[in-house]
Structure 1
């Protein structure tokens, strides 16, 4: 029996669409969860993705005996972020009812369909235990506790309620309470669908064949993978603090001091400048254009250190004190 499975193009496209928004972004030190995990167990194909803040698991039943292919042996491969657009485009090029066969190789996933074959890089490295994660989440709720049914298209209406919101829901037909900064809102659940799970016990029953037995071990979403290696970005919580940071580092560079910004810090400042310019352009395009023109003149003048020194003085700082503190030699006690 080969490590291959067959399902319709519609179902594979649905799995990718449902999980792709939850995959960790490339380049942030979380290579283990960068992309979408594709797993087959002989009866279903699963797509799993997480960014440590959300997790999504979608499944589709494989085509079985009497249809284009027998289900193959179980396999698991991770299609990393840079390959996802290619995979989705290839699947979308097929009719929804087209049968697509997935075969797992050592470091590739091979897809075969009416429009040809796609051989895409896919790793077999260890992935987080999503089954244990789901068991933990279900165990945190009463088995007979009532579920509420929501329309997901309404969730986007809360994105401007605040950067962080607090929610409460007592279950059943009571509304969801949403609290933000100087904001409070309600969302009514939809009427229960008798064909869908009504309790967590029902949900576990619907997924028991996919999840397997509960070992009792806990796995929390925030700990599915280690934290990425920390980077020492310059931080500021207020406009004056960021202004001071920028002036300090500008003077450090122009003075040729040893503690000039690191590459990470330079990247952070460049990104900060972009975000601030974008916000200024949205708020006042004319002021943004005038500021860029003025900045260009100053950069062409070449005396950035003088401009920064003058700006620091105008804002009430003591740039000489900064320079003295940076240049002060370290004292070593004599033995």
Structure 2
């Protein structure tokens, strides 16, 4: 009987800490990426996470080799996993096993059973990395960066353009009313074993990535697409501005062309145009007051609209604001019940 894979608590904590920021915890329709995938090949335990825009793979060599397995711990359970691991001393040996619908961790402080879905599919991260590394010429200059400096660009617009001449040249960063440089990292810790070429990286990770089959798997094809409604909401301020102006003009045009004997259609067009124009004016004011907040709001709003759950959020928001949405619903239902139907109106007229 094969032994269970075991590794130190500090290594498992590092895997979680490294990959957790890359999960699609707030993604829309990305259930397969909503968590950290733990993949053991018997030699290393890998942690993989992606939000469709980034992919991160971290690994730690097992103290005791064991039977390979792959399970995804989803975001609602990651906090509990992290707390349980952090409760152990760094050198504590933790054992990972699987049972039906569970990933089981045993350590000096007890046992943790995390619910997982057996047989759950996950993107082929090995082939994805093979493809990405194969696209880089092996003689391409290698530049080292200090990753802790990347966060300094997080307020330089949502989208920036970058250029890099390679080697010791700085990275050029250009955004809206933002321009700057980031110098490469010139010093290297002697004990830090990192790859200088794509071939070096493949060699260093060959036990994890396996042999390249020659089949391509690009990022856009490898990762699941979010569920979308028929209408995909605008996610930037310029897109939202255009959408609101277009909606205002379409609604006001529809108002004049609506059947005069259909007051409901007339009211719907009027309400749509008024709300679109009001939203446009508020957006323009927000852009003037705080462009960054406007960009953040547009991106966040797009995710909410695409999710199709705004009715639930609106209900919660109404309650939080001190209103009674249930009374609103009751008033609406009563008004509908008191309104004569088209059939009744026609019968009365006859």
- Identify unmatched segments of 5+ residues in structure 1: 65-70, 284-294, 303-335
Specify which of 136, 152, 155 is matched with residue 160 of structure 1: 155
Which residue number corresponds to residue 121 of structure 2?
126
More helix by proportion, 1 or 2? 2
**Structure 1 residue runs of 4+, over 4 Å off?**
233-236, 238-241, 243-249, 255-261
Alignment of 1:229-308 (within 5 A): 229-231=227-229, 232=231, 235=234, 237-239=239-241, 242=244, 245=247
Specify which of 194, 200, 203 is matched with residue 201 of structure 2: 203
Alignment of 1:183-194 (within 5 A): 183-191=178-186, 193=188
After superposition, the Cα gap between the structure-2 partners of 1:145 and 1:101, relative to the gap in structure 1 and judged at 3 Å, is same
Which residue number corresponds to residue 86 of structure 1?
80
Which residue number corresponds to residue 113 of structure 1?
107
CA drift of 1:51 comes to: 1.2
Quote the Cα distance in structure 1 between the aligned partners of 2:2 and 2:241: 60
Contact 1:52 1:223 (C-alpha < 8 Å) held by counterparts: no
Contact 2:32 2:224 (C-alpha < 8 Å) held by counterparts: no
- Identify unmatched segments of 5+ residues in structure 2: 291-320, 329-350
After superposition, the Cα gap between the structure-2 partners of 1:175 and 1:99, relative to the gap in structure 1 and judged at 3 Å, is same
CA drift of 1:3 comes to: 7.1
CA drift of 1:26 comes to: 5.5
Quote the Cα distance in structure 2 between the aligned partners of 1:259 and 1:237: 27
CA drift of 1:44 comes to: 0.6
Question: 3-state DSSP class of the match of 2:224?
Answer: coil
How many corresponding residue pairs? 267
C-alpha RMSD of the superposition = 3.6
1:58 maps to 2:66: no
Which residue number corresponds to residue 214 of structure 2?
216
Quote the Cα distance in structure 2 between the aligned partners of 1:202 and 1:21: 26
List per-residue Cα deviations over 1:218-263 (Å, max 9, x = no partner): 11112213322212356583558537858969x99xx7559979xx
CA drift of 1:88 comes to: 1.0
Which TM-score applies when normalising by structure 2?
A: 0.67
CA drift of 1:170 comes to: 2.6
1:169 maps to 2:164: yes
Quote the Cα distance in structure 2 between the aligned partners of 1:259 and 1:223: 44
Which residue number corresponds to residue 139 of structure 1?
134
CA drift of 1:16 comes to: 0.6
Question: 3-state DSSP class of the match of 1:87?
Answer: helix
Which TM-score applies when normalising by structure 1?
A: 0.70
CA drift of 1:93 comes to: 1.3
